[in-house]
Amino acid sequence: MSRQLYLECYSGISGDMAVGAMLDLGADQQVLEQVLASLPLDGFTTKITTVQKSGINACDFDVILDEENHDHDMAWLFGSEAEEFRHDHEHFHDHEEHDHHHDHDHDRVGHDHEHHHDHDHHHVHRTMKEIREIIGAGQMTDGARSLALRIFEIIAQAEGQVHGKAPEEVHFHEVGAVDSIVDIVSFAVCFDNLAGSLGITDVIVPTLYEGTGTIRCQHGVIPVPVPAVTAIAVANKLRLHIMHEAGEFVTPTGAAIAAAVRTSAELPESFEVVKTGLGAGKREYKRAGVLRAMIIECE
């Protein structure tokens, strides 16, 4: 009997959502903390808590930066399209990636793009070479290291295509900041840990649900899905379903994670659910902002 991981991206996918879902499935938190402590990366702490999204308990993985690094609110990110959210939510922090930045709707529904004003915040720019050095210095399994690098390579390919540069020339001003590196490494470590302990043979990702409208980033106002997400979808044959909801639900980090681990887009005709994990996004939408991960078995 095969055991598979099914990622149900009904509310999109971002880096922090994916990490939360893996932790909620039972990934070893102590192993994760040891790996993060070994990275040559300063200026952050992580917090893992249980939150409620539309009344449902979910695991929230939060990267807290030591220096001021506030994300923009819904009005700045979405302009007039944010008005429908205002009566419920005065201010939202979005990160990449957190991949939703990280809800980070930018990257996040909880996602992974970081949106910062150039005149207010210092932007950390990193190349693929620097990211490889950071990940290479971390004390993690070969499987986790390989997956983390694969996720970044998928993003580099997409960003390079969007900006007309070779992947090695891409500067990760959006997804290469500290919180996104932590998200991607954390997902890789947690997934690798679960795959080994639970015997996961395949990963099924049928469809990524995405919103509509526009979002602001460092370069200006861009359409949703953002260009990096569409580039990742094209290159990796990811299926998108556009919902009638304004907002960015799929971040580049989230799309890259899905592309890196997916082995199939088709669910078996019938299966048994062995275990379920829910990863929380940072933003509040009409639908529950969670990524549901299920361990399933089938004959």
Which residues have CB under 8 Å from 78's CB, separation 6+? 213, 214, 215, 216, 246, 247
- What's the full length of the chain, in residues? 299
Q: What is the pLDDT of residue 154?
A: 96
d(CA 265, CA 154): 18
pLDDT of residue 288: 87
Burial 138-151 (b: 16+ CB within 10 A, else e): bebeeebbebbbbb
pLDDT value of residue 119: 32
Predicted model pTM: 0.84
Residue 265 is predicted with a pLDDT of: 97
Please give the pLDDT value at position 286.
84
Domain count for the chain, please give it.
1
Which residue spans within the chain are E strands per DSSP? 2-8, 44-53, 56-65, 202-204, 208-212, 214-217, 220-223, 240-246, 272-280, 290-298
pLDDT at 180: 85
Supply the pLDDT for residue 98. 39
pLDDT tens per residue across all 299 residues of the chain: 789 999 999 999 999 999 999 999 999 999 999 999 999 998 899 999 999 999 999 999 999 987 644 444 444 444 544 444 333 332 223 333 334 443 333 343 333 333 333 333 445 578 889 999 999 999 999 999 999 999 999 999 998 888 888 778 777 754 557 888 999 999 999 999 999 999 999 999 999 999 999 988 777 899 999 999 999 999 999 999 999 999 999 999 999 999 999 999 999 999 999 999 999 998 888 888 999 999 999 87
- Cβ atoms of residues 211 and 223 within 8 Å: no
> What confidence score (pLDDT) does residue 256 get?
98
Cα(19)–Cα(40) distance, integer angstroms = 20
Full residue range of the structural domain in which residue 62 is found = 2-298
